[in-house]
Amino acid sequence: MEENKTNGAMLKICAFIVDKRNLFFLIFGILMIFSVFARNWVKVENSMAYYLPPITETKQGLDLMEEQFTTYGTCSCMVANISYEQGLEIKDMLERIDGVFSAEYEDTDEHYANGSGLFSVTFDYDEKDDKCLECLDEVKAALAEYDSYIDTSLGNIQSELIAEEMNTISVIVAIIVVSVLLLTSQTYAEVPVLLITFCSAALIQMGTNFVFGTISFVSDSVTIVLQLALSVDYAVIFLNRYKEEHQTYDSREATIIALSKAIPEISGSSLTTVGGLIAMTFMQYKMGPDMGIVLIKSIVISLLCVFLLMPGVIMLFATLMEKTKHKNLIPDIPFVGKFAYKTRYVVAPLFLVAIIIGFFISNKCPYVYGYTKIIPPIQNRVQKIQQMQDETYGSENMVALVVPTGDYEKEKKLLADLEEYPEVESTTGLANSEAMDGYMVTDRLTPRQFSELLNLDYEIAELVYTAYAVNDEDYAKAVNGLSGYKVPLIDMLMFVHDEVEQGYVTLEDDLKDTLDDAYEMMTFAKNQLQGEDYDRMLVYLTLPEESDETFAFIEKMHEIAGKYYPDDGSSIYVVGESVSQYDLKKTFSRDNLVVNLVSILAVLVVLLFTFKSAGMPVLLIIVIQGSIWINFSFPYLQGQYLFFLGYLIVSSIQMGANIDYAIVIASRYTELRETMGRRDSIITTMNLSFPTIITSGTMLAVAGVLIGNMTSDGAIYGIGQCLGRGTIISIFITMFVLPQILLVGDTIIEKTAFVMNMPVRTKTATGFMRIDGVVRGKIDGTVTGTMHAIVRGNVSAFVEAGELAEITEAEYNSRIEVLPDNMKQIEEPEITEDQDKESMEDLTPEEDEDFTVISVGDDVKEEASSDEKENKEENEEGEENA
């Protein structure tokens, strides 16, 4: 009774969705229009370091530097085919541009080589200020007549280029998807139904990303393609259900019934994918949660589009779907099942050996955490310019060392100490930056030295020093004499400039101009290198950006700085690309373990409730985890570096999505084993599963391959490459290895099955009816098994999985007419008195297997016992071998 109420409620909900389809068309139309505008509100973060955990040194150092220092906008301008003298003219021209602070250009190999000049342009504004982009445009315009190549981190050039690449990929994927759908469809009008559903979900997905405020460039780039590949199954399942029901019902009723059956089926199928994506949200590296949440949202939106929008679209195209039917182009593949049965005792052990080898090899996978060792298949124009400049002038690896402020002498000694190491090419800080006439910015000068430096009257210098001493509350110096009083040059210049500006000191015009120039230079340097509480020093390393030696020297830098700041060890930070990669390496080991465990546990829970068996989930997870290990053995065998993010993301997707292929085969096989022997079950299983696997598998594999071969970004390249290869491996293993494992593990699956204790709800009916599902009860006799039959008579049975529906006599007769003559009447089998008294519910599993019964028409026919079936299979196998 409760089950009937549940089914009735579901049918009412589905009827409402179908009958009110115009309302849902309006709702989704509004959402799509809104999404067209809302997609422009999404902010995209291009920095990998932005997503590092707050506890990492890089994250803390970056936050500190943003708070304490000003980082001015810069660009590197390479001008080819000029002389050194022409370069000097260009330098002057660039420095005359309003907003350009300096254009560094010297007669060194770092600035002039092979007939090309490199100009390091620094702007007057913070790199986040939009005025930098205006100045950059003026620089481009000034160099337009030259053979120039400009490289800069300003703006969103990189993300714009990636977006262009992904747009191209999306178009190609769409073409391939249409081609696959045409090949796997049974009517041409299916294709627009599916495309309308996909495109609606994709557009709403892009528009709703604004709720997150900011998403990563990886999530922004690959989500749409992955959404299509991951969720295509949902629409295909619903459409296949509709076509199946439409053979009996008209389009409206078929859509309602198909939707009522598809909602639980599709929701269950999506759980494994969501389970794998949830694992990404447990990563310390926040790009994982960012992408995981965005992809989970895309799955939910796809489900809503399938459940709420697609029924109405099917109704719109129902007539056209009838008119455009064509021959099924996907052939049966009985040879796969036959091959699986013959090789079951060979392939299964070999696969076990393969996954053990894959486990050890994949642990040697050469992971990298930056882009320097990764060579994407294509280069965008920015990367080409960077490569050109690096090849001509060499590349730099710069890190920033941040220490507590207040002691210039310590900083000077620290910088000198660092430069003694062969790993350091040069250093830059206030303590070793030249100011004027050989004096460093932080050198301490007496009044005599200061007056000589600025060509200032000594009396005025003494007066200024006295005022400084009073302002600094150093009254003893002001009273007892100033001859030995020393003040850092930068502090005195700043003080004098302020005194002149306030009118307390008057200087001649030439001297004032010199002071203004010095003040501007000092202010610029101080904003970059000195904060309220911390000082920043730039250290240029001779080491590569990513290597064990580099990571070791980063630790050494802490030791060196710690000698000068023994009480402030926790206040010393090293920040840079190398440090960021070092932090990524340290978070990877933890994230790797967590992602694997959570994805396996999440999928395991779903499978336990799906198959009601402990053995089946373990076998399926072994198959997919084995394919993951084999997938990530390839980089080691090919001698290629793998970006760490590719492994974390793809292993989650592969476990959550690719396991659906294994579930399709395992579910079919489990169902068929109720009524068939092993050999026939696996042959039929592969025939029925092949269209579903080849449809969704091809799309996901193609999406991955295209992403991996048509992008210039190292992270996206790694994700696409691993996803495409991993999906192909998963398809191959589920088609040519999983069947053998199911055959060999058949006994394990049976022995580890468990039954949920649920109240038995018996259905009764009299007259004409259709039965589909696992049935336990009486139909003019005692029946247990999976049935697809029509009945005339009395039924009192528990339908465990499926339905019992009454039909008219006309429908009954129409179905009988299509049966072969020898199946219209089958004599009732003889059943012993003892068996007749027993309820099939009380049979043991062994007895239950021996008496699988099928009902056709009014009668039932007892199949051969399980022992006879197995003997028959062996005999047939022997005949085939002969």
Q: What is the pLDDT of residue 758?
A: 44
Instruction: Give residue for tokens 């579903």.
Output: 692
- Tokens representing residue 839 in the block: 């309820």
Which is nearest to 775 in space by CA: 790, 754, 797?
797
717, 708 in Cβ contact below 8 A? yes
Q: What is the pLDDT of residue 821?
A: 53
CA–CA separation, 3 vs 5, rounded Å? Answer: 5
Q: What is the pLDDT of residue 514?
A: 82
814 C-beta neighbours (distance < 10 Å), count: 13
Sign of CA dihedral 774, 776, 779, 783: positive
Q: What is the pLDDT of residue 777?
A: 53
- Tokens representing residue 42 in the block: 């999404």
DSSP-based three-state secondary structure for 684 = helix
- 489-500 exposure pattern, b = at least 16 Cβ within 10 A, e = fewer: bbbbbbbbbebb
244, 3 in Cβ contact below 8 A? no
β-pair type (439-440, 763-779): unpaired
- Tokens representing residue 420 in the block: 């003694």
Q: What is the pLDDT of residue 819?
A: 54
> Mapped to the 3 state alphabet, what secondary structure does 582-647 carry?
HHHHHHHHHHHHHHHHHHHHHHHHHHHHHHCECHHHHHHHHHHHHHHHHHCCHHHHHCCCEEHHHH
Q: Counting beta carbons within 10 angstroms of the beta carbon of residue 759, is it exposed (0 to 12), middle (13 to 18) or buried (19 or more)?
A: exposed
741, 351 in Cβ contact below 8 A? yes
HSE-CB of 814 using CA atoms within 13 angstroms: 9
675, 749 in Cβ contact below 8 A? no
CA–CA–CA angle 768, 772, 774 (5° rounding): 125
787-803 tens-digit pLDDT? 667 777 776 665 655 56
- Tokens representing residue 348 in the block: 């299964």
CA–CA separation, 214 vs 41, rounded Å? Answer: 9
Which is nearest to 74 in space by CA: 155, 146, 145, 144?
155
Cα torsion through 510, 513, 518, 521, rounded to 10? -150
- Tokens representing residue 831 in the block: 């059943």
CA–CA separation, 265 vs 238, rounded Å? Answer: 9
264, 22 in Cβ contact below 8 A? no
Q: What is the pLDDT of residue 17?
A: 93
CA–CA separation, 83 vs 866, rounded Å? Answer: 91
CA–CA separation, 62 vs 69, rounded Å? Answer: 10
Which is nearest to 606 in space by CA: 596, 595, 598, 617?
617
122, 72 in Cβ contact below 8 A? yes
DSSP-based three-state secondary structure for 810 = helix
Q: What is the pLDDT of residue 657?
A: 75
Average pLDDT by stretches of 10, the chain with 882 residues: 59 91 94 92 86 89 90 92 92 92 88 91 90 92 91 81 82 82 82 90 92 88 79 82 86 91 82 85 90 92 94 92 82 87 91 93 91 86 85 86 89 92 91 83 88 84 83 64 81 85 78 83 88 92 92 93 82 91 90 88 84 84 90 92 87 80 83 84 87 81 87 87 90 90 84 58 59 59 61 64 66 61 45 42 40 37 42 49 42
646, 218 in Cβ contact below 8 A? no
643 strand-pairing partners: 368
Q: What is the pLDDT of residue 785?
A: 56
CA–CA separation, 654 vs 669, rounded Å? Answer: 22
Sign of CA dihedral 709, 710, 714, 718: negative
CA–CA separation, 561 vs 424, rounded Å? Answer: 14
Q: What is the pLDDT of residue 3?
A: 46
DSSP designation for 863: P
